Amino acid sequence: MLDQSLSGFRRTFPSFEEARRQASKYGVPSHEHPGNISIHTYRTEEVRPSDYPILFHMQRLMGEVNSVLDIGGSIGNLFYCYSKYLSYPPGMTWTVFEVPATVAAGTRVAHQRNEHRLRFVERIQDCDAVDAVIISGALHYFEQLPPALMEGLRRQPRHIFINRTPVINGPSVFTIQDHEQYFAISPARVLSRDALLQAMGEAGYELVDEWKANELKLHIPLHPEASVSAYSGFYFRMKQSGTARHPRPNRQILKRALSTRRASRRMAGVAAHSG
């Protein structure tokens, strides 16, 4: 009762469903708010510090990655923004999975910009097979983790980028998040890092890189263990089907190499003194 009276909806809940039920009382879902589309339209021109790790890895993967699924990608702001820094290969396709209102807005903007590489879907099942998945600023709004989110895809993507999501070292925590620039709230999860790594590992992925998104933070009053001073980002890559086994070194060869190295050092010492 003290937690609720002091914190209002800015508190923790026992489950994602309970957080969703409490958020529905306010009747202002942030993902469908007109301000959400307006903000992300502006961000088609803006790269943020936490985008650079993805840009770094993606520029090395261009050619291998010819298709992307952008989960919760708004009107395609990452596609437009990243196009200034990446040379998309010929035939590149970028699919955004979003809610119906955002799909309509994104399709309209793509038509206005005469952009044919960008398409929008309301169901992941409607997306073709992709090489990479990006979930930026959206994972904490989903009840499922990436392996379950991607079950509708025709094949597993080789690369998965997760960015701008609140992560803690303890167990996952459920809360309600409000938008700072307009009044709209949504249920959200502060994700357990161990739970994420375990889920991705069981799905056949390995962690390649991890970084902090310092431009975002989440404070839950009376719950410092669930608050984060900076959001997080991750790059996962599908593990190779087989692990290469290195043959044991031949001891005789090692002995000869070591003997040769010692002889070389002695000769170098003699030459130094004689000089």
Map out the domains of the chain as residue ranges: 2-238
> CA–CA separation, 220 vs 130, rounded Å?
37
Decide if pLDDT at 104 tops 90.
yes
What is the full DSSP assignment across 71-125? Answer: ET-TTTHHHHHHTTTS-PPTT-EEEEE--HHHHHHHHHHHHHTT--SEEEESSGG
Say what the pLDDT of residue 131 is: 97
Decide if pLDDT at 179 tops 70.
no
Average pLDDT over residues 150-162: 94
Q: Are strands 93-97 and 118-121 parallel, antiparallel or unpaired?
A: parallel
> CA–CA separation, 98 vs 31, rounded Å?
9
* More confident call, 136 vs 244: 136
Decide if pLDDT at 127 tops 70.
yes
Q: What's the pLDDT tens digit per position in 20-58?
A: 787 776 665 555 555 555 555 555 678 999 999 999 999
Quick one: 79 exposed, middle or buried, by C-beta within 10 A (0-12, 13-18, 19+)? buried
Decide if pLDDT at 6 tops 90.
no
CA distances from 275 to 18, 242, 262, 272 (A): 82, 54, 20, 5
Q: How far is CA 45 from the centre of its chain?
A: 20
pLDDT-derived band at 83, boundaries 50, 70, 90: very high
Please calculate the CA angle 236-242-245 and round it to the nearest 5 degrees. Answer: 115
Whether the Cβ atoms of residue 126 and residue 100 lie closer than 8 Å to each other:
no
Say what the pLDDT of residue 246 is: 35
Q: What is the CATH code of the structural domain delimited by 2-238?
A: 3.40.50.150
Decide if pLDDT at 177 tops 80.
no
Decide if pLDDT at 263 tops 80.
no
pTM recorded for the entire structure: 0.78
Mean pLDDT over the full length of the chain: 81
pLDDT-derived band at 260, boundaries 50, 70, 90: very low
Average pLDDT over residues 238-259: 49
Task: Strands of 86-230 (E only): list them.
Answer: 93-97, 118-121, 132-136, 159-165, 167-168, 173-178, 185-192, 205-213
> CA–CA separation, 2 vs 176, rounded Å?
17
CA distances from 124 to 47, 98, 131, 250 (A): 26, 9, 14, 52
Q: Enumerate the β-bridge partners of residue 174.
A: 13, 189
Tokens 């209002």 appear where? 8
Say what the pLDDT of residue 249 is: 40
Which stretch of DSSP H or E encloses residue 232?
A: strand 231-238
Say what the pLDDT of residue 197 is: 97
pLDDT-derived band at 10, boundaries 50, 70, 90: low
